[in-house]
A and B are shown apart, each in its own frame.
Chain A
């Protein structure tokens, strides 16, 4: 079980929400974060490539997947940022995505940075 002391610091990760989602079970949480660590960089890279190519359909699809993944691991701010990119892809807005992507990358750097201490805090 996850103990109250294991709470993550005041970061963008909503840890109580994530704990609820795994029924306070440490094992699945560890597995989720491991998957996230593996999958997220690839997804981010493919999103970046779609933005560079101006492939707005690709932006929409990749941003949607990233949004879902971030929401599932309770990074609500980053998920909201991905949703903006998805919306741009949906609307085929060609002006703006690189700037939006830059903003998103900033948001997304937090989950990537946070998942380390978070895991250390949760998973012994």
Chain B
């Protein structure tokens, strides 16, 4: 091991050097503090140092302080050599960053013992650093180390406009299937083998991969880093590249290397990888930014069919930024009272009378106007906000329904239909929440209809039957939304206490022109009636559609032909104007031009 002796006293230097030579140390000797600081700061410099306290120029204390001020340098164990023995001096030495001290003249046995202690500490520290920066399964650098290296590259790119680097985000397609079918041990085994193939894919002919060096050594320009981020995700930092083609070459090499099957637990397993590539040329201010773009590109590769690579282009970058802003704004929307409920009337096809409403969520997003759910519900689901938003809509709709039922009495009373998302339906306390909201709003449960899609009800049929039964016991009506688009088992459907089937708009829009759609609509109506359900056609936009649906036996409908979804004030106006005619909607032309407000 290398060790530095810094002492201006030639005899002291000579004595210590002789002792250390005999112990097998590689001894470097300097006569002053400045040379000591320079030597210890250099790459591959010694990590053990004996520093005389009093030296001309920079003294031992100053050297300690200088070395400790450099945070990203590997730790140097420094022992002060001193004739000072007062407690105050010793404390000053430790405060300056010294690890130990030896009183001069040094006793050789004590010197050797203290150096051995220092070495043990350095070894322990290296082990801890190694463990903190290394993935224990693959022995590759982990996320912490990777982000550290990436941050250095981002900083270098800011200083040098000609410098470029790339990030490859590698995700193994279908890894979960291997894990679930062969077990976690086999999954781990596969990950190790994948890591080995990735190592061989990354190493460029003229460059050296530094994948194993995680002790804190400063990465040299031109070295690539392969890391495991966790699970089946790997990242590769390609340093000092010419252009995107370097990244593409590595991505293609990875696909090629992973193409041959792996032998796991005696079974051949074939996997592929989706790879996202981000190039520093786009300009990034933080390591997290470029990593996220590579991640976005990887997701795009997945969405486009997997087993491929995608490069994050400016449009993708813009989409990622826009998505981030959407997430941020969405998180604040509830607190800022930006959500709105709009109401679309449901009418009887015979007589064109309003019998109820569907409550529809809108977002009054500052700077964007009124935003439709299609633009944010997916994000709300991914960020876990949808159950809260769903409850808010339910509460608001029930409150409004109660107010309208008091203000605009009808026989039977109006009903309000509220959509329940899959995540909401999965909440264990859904029934008690609905009960509480009805109670708060003083709304007759029969005025509420909860709408679920086919796919939600079919996920766990036993649970669905139980929850729907409990809701029915409360007195709440239940509808199947978008019927005909998902997969329904008729025998299961029969077990659910449903009141209404809503025919999906895709069949309604084709009912005039497509005999197939007409046949499906006819079949849904027959099915619903035979099960004792009401039928509501969604998305009716033309008088002919309305007429045809009525002739096929459909009782109720909603859609732009009758009214767009409108806000609370607008709908109150419609109700006020139609109250005298038992809530019969006025002539369509009049309604569409004058009454409906978006």
Contacts and interface: CB of A to CB of B under 8 A. Distances in A.
Tell me whether A and B are bound partners: yes
A25 B107 CA distance: 14
20 contacts: A21-B15, A21-B108, A22-B18, A31-B14, A32-B14, A35-B10, A35-B14, A36-B11, A64-B54, A65-B8, A65-B9, A68-B9, A68-B11, A68-B12, A69-B9, A69-B11, A71-B104, A72-B9, A72-B105, A73-B11
Contacts of A69: 9-12
B9 A20 contact: no
Interface of A: 20-23, 25, 28, 31-32, 35-36, 39, 61, 64-65, 67-69, 71-74
B475 to A, nearest CB: 95
Residue of A22, A67, A68 most packed against chain B (CB within 10 A): A68
Nearest to A64: B54
Given A21-B15, A23-B22, A31-B14, A67 B83 contact: yes
B7 to A, nearest CB: 9
A32 B11 contact: yes
Nearest to B52: A68
B19 interface: yes
Given A64-B54, A68-B104, A71-B83, A22 B15 contact: yes
A52 B353 CA distance: 119
Contacts of A31: 14
A35 B13 CA distance: 11
A71 B10 contact: no
Interface string B18-47: 110010000000000000000000000000
Given A23-B19, A64-B54, 17 more contacts: A20-B108, A21-B108, A22-B108, A28-B14, A31-B14, A32-B11, A32-B14, A35-B14, A39-B10, A65-B9, A68-B9, A68-B104, A69-B12, A72-B11, A72-B104, A72-B105, A74-B105
Interface string B232-265: 0000000000000000000000000000000000
A21 B104 contact: no
Contacts of A74: 105
Given A39-B10, A64-B54, A21 B107 contact: yes
Contacts of A73: 11
Interface of B: 8-12, 14-15, 18-19, 22, 54, 56, 83, 104-108
B8 A20 contact: no
Contacts of A20: 107-108
Nearest to A66: B9
Contacts of A22: 15, 18, 108
A111 to B, nearest CB: 12
A56 to B, nearest CB: 16
A20 B107 CA distance: 8
A41 B19 CA distance: 26
Given A21-B107, A72-B104, A39 B83 contact: no
A71 B105 contact: yes
A22 to B, nearest CB: 7
Residue of B14, B19, B105 most packed against chain A (CB within 10 A): B105
Contacts of A65: 8-9
B83 to A, nearest CB: 7
A38 to B, nearest CB: 9
Contacts of A25: 18
A64 B9 CA distance: 10
Residue of B10, B11, B104 most packed against chain A (CB within 10 A): B11
B386 to A, nearest CB: 75
A32 B54 contact: no
A74 B104 CA distance: 11
A21 B105 contact: yes
A72 B15 contact: yes
B83 A72 contact: no
Contacts of B22: 23
Nearest to A83: B83
A39 B105 CA distance: 17
B113 to A, nearest CB: 14
Residue of B8, B10, B19 most packed against chain A (CB within 10 A): B10
B582 to A, nearest CB: 108
Contact of B108 (A23, A36, A39, A61): A23
A74 B106 CA distance: 11
Q: Sorted from nearest, which 5 A-B pairs have the closest CB atoms? A: A72-B11, A28-B18, A72-B105, A68-B9, A71-B105
Contacts of A23: 19, 22, 108
Contacts of B105: 21, 68, 71-72, 74
Nearest to B111: A21
A50 to B, nearest CB: 14
B107 A39 contact: no
Nearest to B103: A71
Contacts of B15: 21-22, 28, 32, 72
A72 B12 contact: yes
Nearest to B19: A23
Contacts of A35: 10-11, 14
Nearest to A60: B54
A42 to B, nearest CB: 11
A22 B21 CA distance: 12
A73 B8 CA distance: 16
Contacts of B83: 67-68, 71
Contacts of B14: 28, 31-32, 35
A64 B107 CA distance: 19
B10 to A, nearest CB: 6
Nearest to A40: B11
A74 B15 CA distance: 12
A57 to B, nearest CB: 12
Contacts of B56: 61
Contacts of B9: 65, 68-69, 72
Contacts of B19: 23
A114 to B, nearest CB: 16
Contacts of B10: 35, 39, 69
A28 B11 CA distance: 11
Nearest to B11: A72
A68 B56 CA distance: 14
Nearest to B8: A65
A39 to B, nearest CB: 6
